[in-house]
Amino acid sequence: MISPVIFIFSLILSSSHAVQDFCVGDLTAPESPVGYACKNPANVTAADFVFTGLGVPANTSNSNKAGVIPAFAPQFPGINGLGISLARADFEVGGAIPLHSHPGGSEVVLVAEGTIFAGFISSTSNKVYTKTLKKGDIMVFPQGLLHFQVNTGPSPATVFVSFSSTTPGAQLLPLALFQNDLPTAVIAATTSLDTAEIKKLKAILGGSG
C-alpha cells in the first residue's frame, strides 16, 4: 500500500500559520463553529498529536459496501485549529460512497489500492467532471460540491482523504432526501421522482412522511 506520508506532509506545509504553536482541542467542551477551546497546555501530551485509526480497514458491512474512518478534530484533537483533517475510506468490489458534499472544506483523495471512478458536479453549470483513478492517483473535490466515489475495479479499494478543515462536515444526498420526515409529496414535487419510489427509498433508509 502506498504510504500517505508525503501526501500528509504537503498538506501541513500548505496550511496557514497559526498565531500560537497549537490548540489541542478540549473535547470536554462544546464544539463551536471555529472548533474546540484549547486544552490546558499543561495537560497536553504527545498522544494528542497522534491518531492510529487509519491503519485498519473501515467497516464495509453495509448497503453501500463502503466505510469511512474519520480523523477529524473530535477523533484527533491535535489538529484542532490547524485547518486540516484526514480520513480513510475502504470499498468492497462495487462499493460506493453516494453523492454527498462537505460544506466546511475541500477534499483531496489519494488512491492507495484498487480502482476508483470518482467525480463531482459543478454548481454553476451542473457539468460533471469524472475520472477513473488508479493506485497513486490524486483527485480534488472543491468545497461544497456534490461528489462521489465508486469502486469499479475487480478487487477491494482503499483511499486516503484529506480536507481543508478540521471538521468538514458531510451531507449525503440520499439521506438528506429519504432518511427524515420530509413529506413524500414535497419530494415528488421538487424532484419529479415517482411517489412509489420515494416511499420505497424512505422505507429502506428509515425515513417517514
Q: What is the pLDDT of residues 32-69, one digit of tens each?
A: 888 899 999 999 999 999 999 999 999 999 999 999 99
**pLDDT of 177 over the 80 cut:** yes
What is the pLDDT confidence band of residue 19, given thresholds at 50, 70 and 90? Answer: low
Phi, psi of 168, deg, nearest 5: -70, -20
Lowest mean pLDDT among 45-59, 136-150, 169-183: 169-183
CB-count exposure of residue 133 (10 Å: 0-12, 13-18, 19+): buried
pLDDT at residue 7 tops 70: no
What pLDDT score was predicted for residue 80? Answer: 95
Q: Is the pLDDT of residue 13 over 60?
A: no
pLDDT in the model for residue 208: 84
CB 120 within 8 A of CB 142: yes
Q: Where is pLDDT greater, at 190 or 115?
A: 115
Q: What is the pTM of this model?
A: 0.84
Average pLDDT, the chain: 90
pLDDT recorded at residue 37: 94
C-alpha to C-alpha distance for 140 and 160, rounded to whole angstroms: 12
**What is the mean predicted confidence (pLDDT) over 154-159?**
98
Which pLDDT belongs to residue 6?
55
Rounded-to-integer distance, Cα 78 and Cα 70, Å: 14
Of the pLDDT bands very low, low, confident and very high (cuts 50, 70, 90), residue 192 is: confident
Position 176 scores a pLDDT of: 84
Count other C-beta atoms under 10 Å from residue 174's C-beta. Answer: 15
Arithmetic mean of pLDDT, 186-205: 87
Grid cell for residue 76: 484527533
Phi, psi angles (nearest 5°) of residue 197: -70, -40
Q: Which of 39, 65, 70 is nearest to 54 (CA)?
A: 70
Provide the grid cell at 57: 480497514
Bigger pLDDT: 12 or 202?
Answer: 202
